[in-house]
Amino acid sequence: MLYISHDYVTCVLDEIALEGLDGITLQGLWTRLSERPGLCVTSDNCFKSYIWNLIKRLKDVEMYELKEPRKDLVLFNRFLYVDPELGTVIDREEELEDIYPFSPVEDLSSGNRGSCTAYNVRQNVTEAAKKVTLEEAISRNPIQCLFLQWGNKLVFVANQKTRNNALQGDNIDPVMELTLIQYCVLERIGRSRYHGEVTIGRCSLQQIGIDAKSLFYIRKYLIDHKLITKQIFHLKSGLQNSSGSLLHITRYFVLRRPKALILTQKVVEILKSRPGHYAEYEEIRQILGLYYSLKKLMKTIEFQRLIKTDLKLPYRTVYPEAKPGEWRLKGVDKEKMVRVIQLINPDVDVEELWSKEEDEEDDSSNGSVLRLFHI
């Protein structure tokens, strides 16, 4: 069977390079390729053998044997776990096991840098691996394969230049220099691909063990040099919501607006179109279809910064053409009061405000823009 509809060489090399100095197992590579957008991947042995033979011809990739098999790569898409009302990502109750522990390496003799716990103990088996079939390489049966039972002990590692290009692209500032820690953080963000890396929660950059203030300045440097992008990220943990940042390397950027921000922007646009820039609470709830969760939306810090929520106005102020039977309280010669919400600044540009907020991340002790509120 011929596989000519895609540039598999580029795709395979890119996936290996993005995994960093730690490298990637065959199992991990199948997983990454199957998730790569626009790539036709099949699970048959013919296709896998094709990829294996392709890898053996790659001059920019070396193969190593780990002392212990690496656990299977399991991709985690946090955006599949969201609060059904406001779409806020829900934090995991337990941390996912990190199969790539943070362990910076700077090898001046070879020019290698990145994070790799097994760097000094893994064995280069490139020449031996190129002589075997896929079945021999992945065999775990000592009877079938006495000395080549690699399985998940076999990893592919792209050379430093290829890994740099995968993370930084071709438009690299020639005078820009990254420290080892800056590079390792960039490597970790790149490994996350389209899912991105976040600054808060159990499965986040907090796992690497760098203090929050240092991590803030590392991210700021990478953002200033356009190596990564940043956008607002909301996380719900129990009854508490917090805000931080979602990070991607530039070429893997995906715009993700929290549902709460989208709804807030919609309310702002509605209020901008109204005389006096206010509307009845019940009307807004019906327009948005938030019959139970508008109260939650109103408690978010983004909503409170833009909209007053504690106002009551005379009925005829809101509905000037109301008839006496509509505005007058029954049995009392008094006017009904209507609960309304009102735009604080009619000239506000929501997109500009949020962009500014993303650029003014607070370097406080938590290392991210944490705005806590209870719902």
- Looking at per-residue confidence, does 52 or 302 come out higher? 52
Minimum mean pLDDT among 176-190, 237-251, 266-280: which range?
Answer: 237-251
In the structure, what pLDDT confidence band is assigned to residue 150 with cuts at 50, 70 and 90? confident
Q: Compute the distance between CA of residue 221 and CA of residue 75 in angstroms, rounded to an integer.
A: 28
Q: Over range 105-134, report the average pLDDT.
A: 94
pLDDT score recorded for residue 218: 96
pLDDT at 5: 42
Give the mean pLDDT of 165-183: 87
pLDDT reading at 374 higher than 50 = no
How confident is the model over 231-260, as a mean pLDDT?
89
Collapsing DSSP to helix, strand or coil, 302 comes out as helix
The C-alpha atoms of residue 111 and residue 235 are separated, in whole angstroms, by: 39
Is residue 46 predicted with pLDDT exceeding 60? yes
pLDDT on residue 242: 84
DSSP 65-88: E-SSPPPPP----GGGSB-TTT-P
Q: What is the percent of the chain with per-residue pLDDT over 90, rounded to a whole number? A: 61
Residue 184, pLDDT above cutoff 80: yes
Which of 292-296, 353-357, 370-374 has the weakest average pLDDT? 370-374
How large is the average pLDDT for residues 205-217? 92
- Name the residue among 292, 290, 236 with its Cα closest to residue 264: 290
pLDDT at 290 over 90: no
Taking the C-alpha atoms of residue 336 and residue 316, their distance in angstroms, rounded to an integer, is 9
H/E element, 228: strand 228-237
Rounded to 10 degrees, the C-alpha dihedral 156/159/162/167 comes to 80
User: Is it the case that residue 222 has pLDDT exceeding 60?
Assistant: yes
Average pLDDT over residues 176-193: 96
What would the pLDDT profile of 58-97 be if each residue is shown by its tens digit? 999 999 999 999 999 999 999 999 988 888 899 988 778 8
Write the DSSP assignment of 151-182 as a string of letters: GGGEEEEE-HHHHHHHHH-S---TT----HHH
Q: What's the chain's average pLDDT? A: 87
Q: What percent of the chain has pLDDT over 70?
A: 88
Rounded distance, CA 208 to CA 184, Å? Answer: 10
Q: Could you give the CA distance from residue 268 to residue 307 in angstroms, rounded to a whole number? A: 8
- Lowest-confidence segment of 32-46, 261-275, 315-329 by average pLDDT: 32-46
**CA nearest neighbour of 246 among 270, 219, 275, 207:** 219
Closest CA to 215 of 229, 200, 232: 200
pLDDT at 366: 45
- C-alpha–C-alpha distance, residues 171 and 183, integer Å: 16
Q: Is 310 helix (H, G, I), strand (E, B) or coil?
A: strand
- The whole-number pLDDT of residue 301 equals 80
Place of tokens 């580029």: 10
Instruction: Give bridge partners of residue 230 from the DSSP assignment.
Output: 247
**Radius of gyration (C-alpha) of the chain in whole angstroms:** 27
